[in-house]
Amino acid sequence: MRWGLLLRRLAGYAAVSAGTVVVTQAVLILAYSVLGWPGVVANMVAVCVAAGPAYYANRRWVWARTDPHSVTREIMPFWAYSLAGLGLSSLLVALADRWWQSAVAVSAANLAGFGLLWVGKFVLLDRVLFARSSSDPVPGSPQRP
């Protein structure tokens, strides 16, 4: 893969991730601080709210995929990885909520859980979920008849 394409994808992935963090943190803080939900419940809702838009933005904007979605090759693995992040972040959120009972600690625990898996998710998206086969057209290239 060309370095320029890899860097563009990484920058796009980082931008989508930043947007996902904003959505996740907003829902998490609202649910935890305003609604008074337990940290783990607030974390679960926040992650689920942000996961759908993250999938679509990464697929369409970062990897320029416009072909039909594959439930088994793309959606299920994306959600499985998101659930792994949910599991790790929920464990850290539960610990933070128990020890500090602070919105800042709960928020930091959520960020830490997903931050630990961030690079792995990029590799999964780039090399597996949204990887193009040799028969897939590359966006912007002339189509073969």
Amino acid at 61: W
Question: Which pLDDT tens digit goes with each residue over 40-58?
Answer: 999 999 999 999 999 999 9
CA distance 66 to 27: 29
Closest CA to 126 of 52, 56, 55, 62: 62
Domain boundaries, the chain: 3-129
65-77 confidence digits (pLDDT tens): 999 999 999 999 9
Q: 2 falls in which pLDDT band (50, 70, 90)? A: confident
